[in-house]
Amino acid sequence: MAAAGAAFSIPKFGSIPVEATRETMVTNALSTNASRTANCTPRLESKNSEATVSNGRFGPSQSGYAPSIEGPSGENVGRKWTLDANSSKLSSPVVGNGVAFSVAYHPQAELVAVNLQTGNELWTTKPKSNGQSVVANAPPTVRGANVIAGFSNGSLHANETQTQSNGQTVTELSGRVTALRTAGEATIAGTSGKTTSIVVMNRAGTVCQEYRLKNPITKVTGLAVADGKVFYSAAGQTEGHPTFGSVGAIDVETGDVLWDVMTKGQARGVSVAGKSAFVRTTDYTLTLNAQTGEHRWHVDTHGGSWVPPTVADGTVYFGGHYEVAAIDAATGSVEWRHEMQAINPRPIVAGDAVFVAADAIAGRPGIVTSLSPSTGETKWTEEIPKRNLSTPMVTDGTLLVSAYRAAQGAPGTEQYQPSTGELIALEGRK
């Protein structure tokens, strides 16, 4: 395994919130030759490159765009079903083989399988805890007949989508699983904790390559796969200095780190479309050349949701603090802004609509809304009386979203309200 590396001196950012690193922040901890000898390097490309609902945000590239998938439409949109998750906060849902999946982040990690049509719970499974608290920090992903979930104890579990009876631990990693992606024959995980790593596994769950990020990077926050390369975003902080991030690209076939750059503010997610990588940081949405990491443009987002930008037909959509904005992907110029009475909006684009989930604020409910991609005008809105909503997912005319409200008041008092969570399906009604 590679050493942690020397202390890193934070770049002094100028007017551009990204700097090339003085030394690479990424080390391949397993030799490329050994991986090749073992015939372990998995193929990242899939024969079917179309957007899917099985991998979160419509596929490995995380573009958030699915032109051939339709969500709810019409003026009469309402609930199809609601699954009570008790006190659990659920992840963004994914779908595979007619089943919706979500993981309970806390208080106890749990993978939940739900019938997509009825909302009936099919099965649940928990990772082994050995008496310790185990939580989840990343949504699950579906590949073929298996759903894969990662947990804070470093374990990755694969279950058949229709039953949990064949559940197995794919592998044990040395850090908390904070990002998870599948592409082609590969499963890619990002971690934090004991080690901050990007781990590439084959279909059997064997670790083929591990790329360790040096201190002071502490957490992998996002993964995207495009053109046979793995793109990552990460977060870090040093004593006496504001938070910062790292974004980079890795050629898994050769084991080469193609480029890595530092960002002003934590890098909280990355998506790839065309020849550009789109990054969300604490205060900015920025675009980099996907081949070189060179800065192209950035806009100040003034906070907002920490999810990757959505890219569709040459337009970038992202959530600011109280708004959704559409930006020309080539120039960074604003096409439209849509103000909201909710915070941290998370947009995706499916068919001919932008679907947005946003959190409650100041006594107002959370909302799910559909907007015109070209103008930002509202098509329909559904109020969700919960504090926090997940990134939505749409499939076959149905929108799925997780909703959560933390406990309020002091336990044992009349004012106390326990935490509540739900998985909600919306549909258009005639």
The predicted-structure confidence for 160-208, as pLDDT tens digits, reads as follows 887 765 556 668 898 999 999 999 889 999 999 878 999 999 888 888 8
Predicted pLDDT at 2: 34
Q: How far is residue 190's CA from residue 155's CA, in Å, rounded to a whole number? A: 12
Spatial contact of 220 and 232, defined as CB atoms under 8 Å apart: yes
pLDDT band, very low/low/confident/very high, at 35 (cuts 50, 70, 90): very low
pLDDT band, very low/low/confident/very high, at 238 (cuts 50, 70, 90): confident
| 403 is a domain residue | no
Tens of pLDDT along 352-374?
A: 999 999 999 888 899 999 999 99
pLDDT band, very low/low/confident/very high, at 37 (cuts 50, 70, 90): very low
Spatial contact of 388 and 405, defined as CB atoms under 8 Å apart: yes
Tokens 């950035």: give the residue: 298
| Residue 9 burial class via C-beta count within 10 angstroms: exposed 0-12, middle 13-18, buried 19 and up | exposed
| 396 is a domain residue | no
Tens of pLDDT along 313-329?
A: 999 999 988 899 999 99
Which run of H or of E encompasses 226? Answer: strand 217-226
Tokens 């051939």: give the residue: 68
Q: How far is residue 138's CA from residue 150's CA, in Å, rounded to a whole number? A: 7
Strand 343-350 and strand 65-66: the pairing is parallel
Tens of pLDDT along 403-414?
A: 998 777 887 787
pLDDT band, very low/low/confident/very high, at 4 (cuts 50, 70, 90): very low
Domain CATH for 167: 2.130.10.10
Q: How far is residue 247's CA from residue 268's CA, in Å, rounded to a whole number? A: 10
| 316 is a domain residue | yes
Q: How many domains does the chain have?
A: 1
| 370 is a domain residue | no
| 375 is a domain residue | no
| 74 is a domain residue | no
Domain of residue 139, residue span:
18-42+57-65+90-335
| 365 is a domain residue | no
Predicted pLDDT at 161: 82
Tens of pLDDT along 94-122?
A: 998 889 999 988 777 889 999 999 999 99
Least confident interval from 262-271, 301-310, 362-371: 301-310
| 2 is a domain residue | no
